[in-house]
A and B are shown apart, each in its own frame.
Chain A
Amino acid sequence: MLKVRKIDYEALRQHGEQTYPHECCGVLLGEMNGEERRVISIAPCGNTRTDSPQNRYHIDPKELVRIQREGRERGEDIVGFYHSHPDHPARWSATDLAEAHWFGCSYVITSVEKGKAALTNSFELTGSDESDKKLLDEKIVVAQTEA
């Protein structure tokens, strides 16, 4: 289950509208509590896939190192990532799964249809290693204030 504040939920959706028709991407930071991930902040990122931004995203690891460091200073861990699918369903693709390596984290996808954020879904990356990994549907709980 992913718990997120309304302000962060709306921000990650709006990010997809801002970058449309390209995919947006970013990091979810917060706390892991067993099967639950609680988002305390989000960090919008640049998409380095300038060769194919309409259907591919990649976060520069150097940006991630900075985001991790800043998160550590606030007592926050990386709990997941988000990206958008312009004019495409909010479901993970074969590419999304192949490129997913953060087991136990949430992968949030928003479909952005004709420039407007539509559906947002979240998936947990499960499995013991690369050979049996799966992205499983998980519930998103959007809270008005604290997640």
Chain B
Amino acid sequence: MTKIHIPTPLRQYAGKQPTVEVNGSTVAEALSGLVSQHPDLKRHLYTDDGKLRSFVNVYLNDEDVRYLQKEATAIKDSDTISIVPSIAGGR
């Protein structure tokens, strides 16, 4: 199974867990497994038309999946996925 690290603001929608283990052979399948287990996460990760929100970064190990094969990126059991909402701002 693949481990998904849940950021602190989203843990309340994931049974207060810091990590969730899922099955899947791609990032898309893993994230689908995550929202199947915890449906309340869906609206925080995805827009109404099913796309990952622009401020939600998904990392496979240390790589941003945008620069791999996006959600089609293949995963192995030893991989970890990190969900990282962006941090930005300014005066």
Residues of A within 8 A of B (CB): 23, 25, 27, 32, 49, 52, 55-59, 61-62, 64-66, 68, 72, 77-79, 81, 83, 85-86, 88, 92-93, 95-96, 98-105, 107, 125, 129
Given A61-B84, A101-B55, does the pair A96, B5 have CB atoms closer than 8 Å?
Answer: no
Distance between Cα atoms of A49 and B9 in the complex (Å): 24
Distance between Cα atoms of A125 and B26 in the complex (Å): 33
Distance between Cα atoms of A67 and B56 in the complex (Å): 17
Could you say which interface size class chain B belongs to?
20 to 34
CB–CB A96/B62 < 8 A: no
> Which residues of chain B come closer than 8 Å to A102, judged between CB atoms?
7-9, 85, 87
> Which residues of chain A come closer than 8 Å to B50, judged between CB atoms?
none
User: Which one of B5, B44, B89 contacts A99 once the chains associate, using CB atoms below 8 Å?
Assistant: B89
Distance between Cα atoms of A61 and B84 in the complex (Å): 7
Distance between Cα atoms of A57 and B87 in the complex (Å): 8
Pairs A–B under 8 Å by Cβ, sample size 20:
A49-B90, A56-B89, A58-B88, A59-B88, A62-B64, A65-B62, A72-B18, A81-B87, A85-B91, A86-B91, A88-B91, A93-B89, A95-B89, A95-B91, A98-B89, A99-B86, A99-B89, A100-B89, A102-B7, A129-B44
> Which residues of chain A come closer than 8 Å to B8, judged between CB atoms?
32, 77-79, 102, 104-105
> Which residues of chain B come closer than 8 Å to A25, judged between CB atoms?
87
Task: Give the interface SS of chain A, mostly helix, strand, loop or mixed.
Answer: mixed
- Which of B8, B62, B82, B88 is the most central at the interface, judged by chain A CB atoms within 10 Å of its CB? B88
- Map CB proximity to A onto B41-58 as digits: 1 under 8 Å, 0 otherwise: 001100000000001010
Nearest-CB residue, chain A, relative to B44: A129
> Which residues of chain B come closer than 8 Å to A49, judged between CB atoms?
88, 90
> Which residues of chain B come closer than 8 Å to A107, judged between CB atoms?
89
User: Which one of B18, B44, B88 contacts A56 once the chains associate, using CB atoms below 8 Å?
Assistant: B88
> Which residues of chain A come closer than 8 Å to B62, judged between CB atoms?
62, 65-66
Nearest-CB residue, chain B, relative to A84: B91
CB–CB A61/B5 < 8 A: no
**Nearest CB of B to A95, in Å:** 5
Nearest-CB residue, chain B, relative to A100: B89
Nearest-CB residue, chain B, relative to A98: B89
